[in-house]
Amino acid sequence: MSYTAWCAKPAASAMFLVGLSGGIASGKSTVVAVLRELGCAVIDADVIAREVVQPRLKAYQQIVRCFGPEILQESGEIDREALGNIIFSHPEKRRLLNAITHPEIQKEMLKQVLKYFVLGKGDRGCWLSPCQRGERDREGDRSRAE
């Protein structure tokens, strides 16, 4: 999942939306910390990606249906390491997982953007922080032929 930099800044009092993107260890976390200190709203796709796969949610149910109960911990939560072992060794499984999770992540990000807009909390900007897993997916795609 990538949110490349796009920015729209209309009138001075209007909310503007910016996507933050970059490779691993490129300083995104540092930039996000500074933006938060400045009072900017930050929507973190990494956090949302973990939230949308919680038990009883739509993406969770689809993941368990597609990947089987062997990817679950005793607590019922998804074992991220077990699922990672599957998706990083089978590109088609990674695409399936992305097809399940990305729409849910995008819906939640949009809800949060709208919330900040309605509450007027985006007057200093609303920053979208990219999902790290998505960046590794792209880097993995470059490093091996599928």
- Residue 17 neighbours by CB under 8 Å, 6+ apart: 6, 7, 8, 113, 122, 125, 126, 128
- Please name the residue that has the structure tokens 């970059």: 22
Q: Which residues pair with 119 in a beta bridge?
A: none
pLDDT in the model for residue 129? 61
The sign of the torsion formed by the CA atoms of 84, 138, 93, 69 equals: positive
pLDDT in the model for residue 26? 87
pLDDT in the model for residue 124? 58
Q: What is the pLDDT along the chain (146 residues), one digit of tens a residue?
A: 444 444 444 444 566 778 888 788 888 888 888 888 888 888 888 889 999 999 999 999 999 999 999 999 999 999 999 999 999 999 999 999 999 999 999 999 999 988 888 877 766 556 666 544 444 444 444 333 33
Structure tokens at 114: 């709208």
pLDDT in the model for residue 60? 98
**Rounded Cα distance, 60 and 63, in Å:** 5
**Rounded Cα distance, 20 and 6, in Å:** 8
pLDDT in the model for residue 136? 40
The answer to whether 29 and 45 are in contact (CB under 8 A) is no
Q: What is the DSSP letter of 120?
A: T
- Residue 115 neighbours by CB under 8 Å, 6+ apart: 121
The answer to whether 127 and 116 are in contact (CB under 8 A) is no
